[in-house]
Amino acid sequence: EAQVTQNPRYLITVTGKKLTVTCSQNMNHEYMSWYRQDPGLGLRQIYYSMNVEVTDKGDVPEGYKVSRKEKRNFPLILESPSPNQTSLYFCASSFVGGGGEQFFGPGTRLTVL
């Protein structure tokens, strides 16, 4: 089944404790992206990647890191989480170019205390 998976789905952590949210897709997509969703703000892009070893900042990259060592994986790293990073996070993937839809993972609900 073609899908984007994220883990964990839910996470409660404390300020300053490093965490990684994993994202994996099995559709051989070049493009992968991370978004955060906050009430009234829609989805905002954090980082994206056009292909292996090619990543770039989105609209709200502060406090986040990413890496793209393999085509299928695109982990999101919070080195020192803060309460303002409490949010719903989505990973998405697609082919580059054309009208290909972005496929979204199920979301990760993160709470930073």
Closer to another protein by Cβ: residue 62 or 98: 98
Distance in angstroms (rounded) separating the CA atoms of residues 76 and 106: 15
R_g (Cα) of the chain, nearest Å: 13
Closest-CA residue to 85 (of 15, 33, 7, 32) = 15
CB of 78 to another protein, least distance (A): 20
Closer to another protein by Cβ: residue 83 or 100: 100
Contact set with another protein (CB under 8 A): 31, 33, 35, 40-45, 48, 50, 58, 88, 90, 92, 94, 96-99, 101-104, 106-107, 109
